[in-house]
Amino acid sequence: MPSQKPADRIHSLRQLLNHHSYQYYVLDAPEIPDAEYDRLYRELQQLELQYPELITPDSPTQRIGDQPLAAFSQIRHEVPMLSLDNVFSDDELNDFYRRAQTKLDLNTEIEFAAEPKLDGLAVSLIYENGMLARAGTRGDGVTGEDITQNIRTIHSIPLHLMGEDWPVKLDVRGEVFMPKAGFELLNQRAREKNEKEFANPRNAAAGSLRQLDPRITASRSLAMYCYAVGNADSMGKFTTHSDVLNQLSQWGLPLCKERSVVKGVKGCLDYFNTMGQKRIALPYDIDGVVYKVNRLDWQKELGFVAKAPRWAVAHKFPAQEEITTVNAIEFQVGRTGALTPVARLEPVFVGGVTVSNATLHNMDEVERKEIRVGDRVIIRRAGDVIPEVVSVVPGSRQLHANKIVLPAHCPVCGSDVVREEGEAIARCSGGLYCAAQRKESIKHFASRKAMDIEGLGDKLVEQLVDEKRIEHVDDLYRLQLNDIASLERMGEKSASNLLAALDKSKTVTLSRFIYALGVREVGEATALALAKHFGSLEKLQDASEEDLQTVPDVGPVVARHVFHFFHEPHNRQIIQRLRTAGIHWPDQQANEQNQSLAGLTFVITGTLTGMTRDEARAALQARGGKVAGSVSAKTSYLVVGDSPGSKAEKAEQLGVKILDEAGLMKLLAE
């Protein structure tokens, strides 16, 4: 095929890039990888550099290129950009509907075009002969600011309309907004630079669109959905508003996918309720829905009143933000011991419910937002999301308001509160004792890799705690037959089996017992290293942070966790009661006499028949061997059971010795 002339190739590239931008930014259905789009874009850039006389304003390369403005110029709307009246209840919606029926002298149901009410900034796009010529903000409805340069940076807005048969002049109205993900990213960058954060996506969108430097606007995630045509006469062949929107979509303009056509008040209310349920899951903020009489001739007949049309109304959701007073601050303890500051508020109606509590997340948030008792604060609630304090109302602080201080002791159990340097979360150190953590600590204690108490599953643990049969892990060993058998879905047989499993679990290894205690950051490998290094629980309990850091793989953070755990009196009490209940382990020094596998690394794969993989791991570790999770050149042996998978193939490739189960048993017996 003969090569194209430069002008033809440039034209083809622009069409291709516009098509793929539409697929990506408007339809969210990309047809080519990003790398291919970038290649086409660079080719166009190179051709335009060679032939600058062929550059046109609607080229994809011209989205960002103008110099920063000294100030925005004014733009006058040929057709005023009017606001909408609001309704907040079913009764108010019924009143709006009856007025429209009366004005139109109708007894039949009215059809409405319905769409979400985006929480952004209203703008007007002027296309002349299909090319974006100007863009302006709503302003006072008659005069706005010329934001053409910044609008051109938004990729979902076409610089040139697709298709054909566009009016000579087209005035498209829509809302520019910032998606939730873009808003979070923008504020994350602000936090990293210690800059002021935006309060909400609407403010972020407005602030981004009104930048004098379009490069700043281009760096932020903005999008737009179109919802009307200002000069409706230019769309003369259409009879309904929904048809107009469908045509805009065919011309490549972005429209909200959630739009619909409904009939009567019931149709409106069904749509309102549906969008209310979807609201939280949407990737953008909405604060209500909009109903527009669908027939354009009826819109003309209904006309306008003051600064709003009679043929459209916004049905607002209950407010998601309100102002109230912080009466007190309390700290809640979660199931993992994390302390969360909670603001007790002067009750306020927000997001459809009365709110009297709001989370402050952690002390970093409290300090960053500078919240104090007595402050007037903005509260946000979105659907089922836990209410949160957004910010303090400027100028509302009372004299002598005290800073919020992290408690030194857990408000639930009185154990020491520990907050590691550089961490946002503070935690209760009474893991075995604290009532807020008891269910999770007992579940972990009984788990297969810890005490391995067969039959004591999560649901049974919750039953035992809820029925007040046990409070702490040591209470497990004081359970009687009737304590268990009288529970729902439990009988004497199941209760007897559990008591037998509890008795069996009293004989354990020191490393498994350490792991079962649930010390933060102490997994199986670290528990084994601690057991080997100190040899006895007493020496471990009395170790200093410096002593702990001499253990292989134990750094300062883990050392602090271990130190605080064993120096919390409540935890020591529980451990002593466990020992008194009969939990014991073989003498570590006796175990150390047989270290025949020291220096060897094992990997276990497949299903073993004579023992579980956990039992095999424990046996190898008891003889000094190290058990890893993946095969490498440093692996000494791969232990293979039934259905070994890809690890066996890798071992063969690397020349690693392979042991079957019989070979493993022989090695352990030596």
Token duo for residue 476? 């497990």
Q: Tell which CATH classification among 3.20.20.60, 1.10.287.610, 3.30.70.260, 3.40.50.360 matches the domain 6-62.
A: 1.10.287.610
Q: Does domain 321-392 fall into CATH 3.30.1490.150?
A: no
- Both tokens of 325, joined, read 């007073």
- The first and second tokens of residue 11, run together, are 């034209």
Q: What are phi and psi of 234, to 5 degrees?
A: -70, -15
Alpha-carbon distance of 465 to 488, in angstroms, equals 13
pLDDT at 590: 44
CB 413 within 8 A of CB 434: yes
- Phi and psi at 277, nearest 5°, equal -70, -35
Token pair for 505: 């679990």
For residue 46, the SS3 value is helix
Distance CA(458)–CA(445), nearest Å, equals 11
Tokens of 640: 């293979």
How does DSSP classify residue 401?
Answer: P
- With beta carbons less than 8 A apart as the criterion, state whether 601 and 634 touch: yes
Please tell me what DSSP assigns to residue 280. Answer: G
Name residues whose C-beta falls within 8 Å of residue 236's C-beta, 6 or more positions apart in sequence.
Answer: none
Cα angle value 544/548/549 (rounded, 5°)? 120
Cα–Cα distance measured from residue 19 to residue 110, given in angstroms and rounded to the nearest whole number: 37
Catalytic hit among 5, 103, 117, 307: 117
> Quick one: CA torsion of 627, 631, 636, 637, rounded to 10 degrees?
80
Task: Enumerate residue ranges in the chain where pLDDT < 50.
Answer: 1, 590-591
Residue 100: the pLDDT is 94
Identity of the amino acid at 288: G
Q: Is 263 an annotated catalytic residue? A: no
The answer, as to whether pTM is greater than 0.75, is no
Decide if 500 contacts 479 (C-beta within 8 A).
no
Helix (H, G, I), strand (E, B) or coil at 169: strand
Which H or E run includes 268? helix 264-278
Half-sphere exposure of 404 (CA within 13 A, CB side): 26
For residue 150, give both structure tokens. 């910044």
Fold match between domain 6-62 and domain 321-392: no
Residue 391: its H or E element:
strand 388-392
The interaxial angle of helices 438-446 and 458-466, nearest 10 deg, is 140
**CA–CA separation, 581 and 593 (whole Å):** 28
Distance separating the N- and C-terminal Cα atoms of the chain: 77
Which class does domain 86-316 fall in?
Answer: alpha beta
As its CATH architecture, domain 594-669 has: 3-Layer(aba) Sandwich (3.40)
Instruction: Give the integer Cα–Cα distance in Å for 169 and 566.
Output: 78
Question: The domain 435-589 is classified under which CATH number: 3.40.50.2000, 1.20.1250.20, 3.40.50.300, 1.10.150.20?
Answer: 1.10.150.20
pLDDT value of position 388? 84
Q: Which residues contact 120 (CB under 8 A, 6 or more apart)?
A: 175, 176, 177, 178, 201, 202, 205, 206, 285
Q: State the Cα torsion 400-401-407-408 to the nearest 10°.
A: -20
- Number of neighbours of residue 140 by Cβ within 10 angstroms: 11
**340 in the Ramachandran plot: left (φ > 0), alpha (ψ -120 to 50) or beta?**
beta
Amino acid in the structure at residue 443: K
Residue 26: predicted pLDDT = 65
Cα–Cα distance between 189 and 192 in angstroms, integer? Answer: 5
Domain ranges of the chain: 6-62, 86-316, 321-392, 435-589, 594-669
Q: Give the tokens for residue 396.
A: 């509302």
Would you say 374 and 398 are in contact if contact means Cβ atoms under 8 Å apart? yes
Contact 515, 441 (CB under 8 A): no
Contacts for 560-564 with beta carbons within 8 Å, 24 or more apart?
Answer: 560/418, 560/420, 561/418, 561/519, 561/520, 561/521, 561/522, 562/519, 562/522, 562/530, 564/416, 564/418, 564/429
